[in-house]
A = this chain, B = another copy of it.
Amino acid sequence: MPRQATLKDVAAKAGVRPETVSKVVNRKAHVSPETEARIRQAIRELGYRPNVAARNLRARQSRMIGYSWRPVPAGQFNPILDQFLQSMVEVAGQAGYHLLPFPCPPDHAQVEAYQELVDTNRVDGFILSSTNVDDQRIAYLQKIQFPFIAFGRANTDWDFPHIDVDGTAGLRAATEHLLDRGHRRIAAIAWPEDSLTGTLRLQGYGEAMASASLSLDPAWIARGEHSAAFGHLAATQLLDLPPERRPTALVALSDLMAIGAMHAIQDRGLEVGRDVAVTGFDDTPMAQYLRPPLTTLRQPVWESGRRAIAMLLQLLRGEPLPEQYVLLKPELIVRESSGE
User: Which residues of A does B touch, CB under 8 Å?
Assistant: 1, 4, 47, 49-54, 56-57, 60, 62, 71-72, 74-79, 81-83, 85-86, 89-90, 93, 98-103, 116, 119-122, 144-145, 228, 259, 263, 266, 284-286, 288-289, 291
- CA–CA, A101 and B101, complex, Å: 8
Give the contacting residue for A4; candidates B75, B119, B228; CB below 8 A: B119
B98 touching A259, Cβ below 8 Å? no
**Given the complex, which residues of B lie within 8 Å of A144, measured CB to CB?**
1
Residue of B nearest to A69 (CB): B82
- CA–CA, A56 and B57, complex, Å: 9
B71 touching A82, Cβ below 8 Å? yes
**Given the complex, which residues of B lie within 8 Å of A291, measured CB to CB?**
263, 266, 291
In the complex, how many angstroms separate the beta carbon of A231 from the nearest chain B beta carbon? 10
**Given the complex, which residues of B lie within 8 Å of A100, measured CB to CB?**
98-100
- 16 additional contacts, CB 8 Å, given A47-B119, A99-B102, A263-B291? A1-B144, A51-B121, A52-B121, A53-B53, A53-B62, A54-B57, A56-B56, A77-B77, A81-B85, A85-B101, A86-B103, A93-B102, A98-B102, A99-B100, A100-B100, A284-B286
**Given the complex, which residues of B lie within 8 Å of A78, measured CB to CB?**
81-82
- CA–CA, A51 and B74, complex, Å: 36
